[in-house]
Amino acid sequence: MANEVTVLVPRLLQPLVGGSSELRLDVGEGAPLSELLDAVAADFPVFGRRVRDETGTLRRFVNIYVDGDDVRRLQGLKTRIAAGQELMIIQSVAGG
């Protein structure tokens, strides 16, 4: 669709979104990242809790890139996402 953004979901989080490796979201004229994450969390609440903490902040070990740029180096959750852009979510795996 013309107003969609693609969200690439890492393998570790795919079971939380029905096994999908990609989600497509309608962004209309554009929307802040926080609204897109809210929309995904409305359908997949456990996914939402894995990506953001109880205050709504991105979890420390979750990185989101918009067309290759880390949102933390842009405007964080206020980063505006436009149709045609690609979001890549990367969840770090810690161990030792």
Q: Could you read off the pLDDT of 36-76 as tens digits, one per residue?
A: 999 999 999 999 999 999 999 999 999 999 999 999 999 99
pLDDT at residue 14 is higher than 70: yes
pLDDT for position 93: 72
Q: Could you read off the pLDDT of 17-43 as tens digits, one per residue?
A: 999 999 999 998 899 999 999 999 999
Tell me how far apart the alpha carbons of residues 67 and 87 are, in angstroms, rounded to a whole number.
6
Whether the model clears a pTM of 0.85, i.e. scores above it, the answer is yes
Tell me how far apart the alpha carbons of residues 95 and 31 are, in angstroms, rounded to a whole number.
35
